[in-house]
Chains A and B, each alone.
Chain A
Amino acid sequence: MTDEMTEEGGTVKRFLYVNRRAPYGSIYALESLEVVLIGAAFEQDVSMVFIDDGVYELKKGQDTKAIDMKNFSPTYRALEMYDVEKLYADKESMDARGLTEDDLVVPVEVLSTEELANLMEEQDVVLSF
Chain B
Amino acid sequence: MKFGIQVNEGPYQHQASDTAYQFTKAALEKGHEVFRVFFYHDGVNNGTRLTTPPQDDRNIVNRWSELAEKYDLDLVVCVAAAQRRGIVDDDEAKRQGKDATNIAPRFRISGLGQLIEAGIQSDRLVVFGD
Residues in chain A within 8 A of chain B (CB atoms): 10-11, 13, 15, 27-28, 31, 34-35, 38-39, 41-42, 44, 124-129
Chain B 114-130 interface residues, beta-carbon cutoff 8 Å to A: 115-117, 119-120, 125, 127, 129
Find out whether the CB atom of A127 lies under 8 angstroms from the CB atom of B119: yes
Chain A positions within 8 Å of B112 at CB level: 34-35, 38-39
A38, A124, A128, A129: the one contacting B116 at CB < 8 Å is: A38
Contact indicator B6/A127 (Cβ below 8 Å):
yes
A15 vs B111: C-alpha distance when bound (angstroms): 18
Known pairs A34-B80, A41-B113, A127-B6; A10 contacts B41 (CB<8 A): no
What residues of B have a CB within 8 angstroms of the CB of A15 in the complex?
116, 119
Q: Which of B41, B113, B125 makes the CB contact (< 8 A) with A125?
A: B125
Those 8 A-B pairs whose CB atoms lie nearest each other, nearest first: A38-B112, A125-B119, A39-B116, A42-B116, A125-B125, A35-B112, A11-B120, A128-B127
Q: Is the interface of A mostly helix, strand, loop or mixed?
A: mixed
Contact A27 B127 (CB under 8 A): no
What is B's interface to A at a CB cutoff of 8 Å? Answer: 6, 8, 40-41, 80-81, 84, 111-113, 115-117, 119-120, 125, 127, 129
Instruction: Provide the bound-state CA to CA distance between A61 and B117, in Å.
Output: 35
Q: What is the minimal beta-carbon distance from A35 to any residue of chain B, in angstroms?
A: 5
Contact (Cβ within 8 A) A35 B115: yes
Contacts of B41 in A (CB 8 A): 27-28, 31
- Residue from B81, B113, B115, B129 within 8 A of A128 (CB atoms): B129
Residue in chain A with minimal CB distance to B42: A27
Q: Which one, B81, B116, B125, B129, contacts A44 given CB within 8 A? A: B116
A-B contact pairs, 18 of them (CB 8 A): A13-B119, A13-B120, A15-B116, A27-B84, A28-B8, A28-B41, A31-B81, A34-B112, A38-B116, A41-B113, A42-B116, A125-B119, A125-B120, A127-B6, A127-B119, A127-B125, A129-B8, A129-B129
